């Protein structure tokens, strides 16, 4: 590793830490020649992921292009940069585990799926470009489709969480079976 100040290759690693998401390692280095301190990041070398465009051409996957399109959908919305980065990380991870080539339609569908969970307005913005709405009616249909789905309120707890509902159903079934078995006995 060359020192960014003097260009020397003699350095010493002072500190190493993993990033929050565990995808990279941050190293603090100290140049032995000029005593300058600097930071380097070590990441896994990704395989060459290629995107198959709608016109059947291939191009290398560009994470920055994905992040820019998502950021454009979230423009002037109240989403944190961390939320956007986490979303991009999840999508990239899903794409990389799926194979070396991925159709652009799969990427768009994954982005829409994530956006629908986080922000409906950002979802509509992205969908209007991705699905190429040609007139207002298509846009209105997309809005109505969003309005019909059930929205969980993050501030309100579930009245019957899945585990509790299953336990209650099993207890009721056991109670009924016991009552049928003991029917007529005193």
pTM: 0.53
> CB of 88 within 8 A of CB of 67?
yes
Which residue's entry shows tokens 């969003």?
146
Instruction: List, for residues 59-89, the tens digit of each pLDDT value.
Output: 998 889 999 999 988 888 877 888 888 898 8
With a CB cutoff of 8 Å and minimum separation 6, the contacts of 70 are 84, 87, 88, 111, 115, 122, 126
Instruction: List, for residues 32-53, the tens digit of each pLDDT value.
Output: 999 999 999 888 766 688 999 9
Q: What is the pLDDT of residue 166?
A: 55
DSSP string, 73-94: HTTTSS--HHHHHHHHHHHHHH
User: What is the torsional sign of CA 103, 60, 128, 82?
Assistant: positive
Instruction: List, for residues 82-111, the tens digit of each pLDDT value.
Output: 888 889 888 988 888 878 899 988 998 899
With a CB cutoff of 8 Å and minimum separation 6, the contacts of 91 are 66, 107, 110, 111, 114
């Amino acid at each position: 590793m060359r020192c960014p100040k003097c260009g020397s290759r003699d350095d010493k690693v002072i500190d190493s830490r993993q990033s929050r998401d565990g995808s990279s390692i941050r190293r603090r280095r100290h140049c032995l020649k000029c005593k300058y301190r600097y930071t380097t990041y070590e990441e896994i070398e990704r395989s060459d992921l290629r995107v198959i465009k709608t016109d059947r051409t291939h191009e290398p996957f560009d994470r920055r292009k994905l992040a820019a399109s998502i950021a454009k959908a979230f423009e002037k919305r109240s989403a944190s940069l961390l939320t956007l980065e986490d979303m991009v990380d999840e999508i990239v991870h899903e794409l990389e585990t799926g194979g070396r080539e991925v159709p652009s339609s799969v990427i768009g569908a994954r982005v829409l799926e994530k956006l629908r969970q986080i922000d409906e307005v950002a979802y509509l913005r992205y969908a209007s470009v991705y699905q190429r709405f040609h007139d207002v009616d298509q846009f209105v249909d997309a809005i109505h489709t969003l309005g019909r789905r059930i929205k969980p309120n993050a501030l309100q707890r579930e009245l019957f969480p899945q585990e509790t509902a299953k336990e209650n159903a099993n207890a009721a079934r056991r109670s009924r079976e016991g009552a049928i078995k003991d029917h007529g006995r005193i």
